[in-house]
Amino acid sequence: MRYVLITGAGSGLGKETAKLLKDEKLLLVGRNEKNLKKVAQNLDADYFICDITNIDQINELKAHVEKNFANLDTIINCAGVWTKGEISQLSDKHFAEMNTLEKIKNVLDTNTFGTIAMITTFAPILIKNKKGQIINVNSQSGVETEEFCPVYNASKHGGYFYRKAVQRDLAKHNVKITDVCPGLMKTDFFVKADDGLPQEIMKLGLSPDEVAKTIKYVFDMPHEITIPSIEVRHIKNY
């Protein structure tokens, strides 16, 4: 049995990933206590409320892990938020509201800082335990440049290149790290950002279960085999 911490576990991809890994010892992490508690109860898993943009809460999570989950060997970073809008579109009310400085900061804090903070905080535990795995849910936006979502692009590219920069060092300590980079997914990801997409576009998205199966594929690989990055998208969504 492996000891697995999953962020963003209260809904969407994090929830589906937790369901596929229900036979492991899980610590589910998220901001929405109602959703997170329900998922944890259904899976007989532990949970901890934590906003990964908040340093104090991350430190509280670290103390909890050190006391109650010290055998941690896997971190799966699923938490993420969305925004879009080209610079030339910011005179439009919809895009202006999606790109206030507060919302831009939240995207960067969640997608970039949050991922880096989780790795920086918990990788030392994996190193101490002499074996571990980190899986980051990145995005096609982390490997491509898409003009319609520059801030989201920047946030995902930051995580992608951080992973590339640390993977060799982690490998020296028997810890492997992978970016899973999905395309469009059929979740409420965009609705939460007040940017629901038309049905004809959403139907070309991947289901959270399909992407979760990709995460499990990476999770199930023999430990001596590492996949630095894996991309997955609907065949009609290029």
pTM of this prediction exceeds 0.75: yes
CA 170 to chain centre: 19
Q: Quick check: is 213 in a domain?
A: yes
Contact status, residue 141 vs residue 156, Cβ threshold 8 Å = yes
Mapping DSSP to helix (H, G, I), strand (E, B) and coil, where does residue 94 land?
helix
- What's the CATH number where 21 sits? 3.40.50.720
Q: Quick check: is 198 in a domain?
A: yes
Q: Quick check: is 105 in a domain?
A: yes
Report pLDDT for 197.
65
- DSSP H or E stretch at residue 155: helix 150-171
Instruction: Tell me the residue range of the domain where 204 lies.
Output: 3-232
Residue 77 has pLDDT above 80, yes or no: yes
Q: How far apart are CA 76 and CA 56, in angstroms?
A: 20
Report pLDDT for 188.
74
Report pLDDT for 193.
67
Q: What confidence category does residue 232 fall into, taking pLDDT thresholds of 50, 70 and 90?
A: very high
Residue 236 has pLDDT above 90, yes or no: no
Q: Of 130-144, 193-207, 214-228, where does mean pLDDT reach its minimum?
A: 193-207
Q: Quick check: is 19 in a domain?
A: yes
Residues above pLDDT 70, as percent of the chain: 97
| Average confidence score pLDDT of the chain | 94
Contact status, residue 45 vs residue 28, Cβ threshold 8 Å = yes
What is the number of domains present in the chain?
Answer: 1
Q: Quick check: is 139 in a domain?
A: yes
Q: How far is CA 37 from CA 14, 94, 235, in A?
A: 13, 33, 35
Q: Quick check: is 84 in a domain?
A: yes
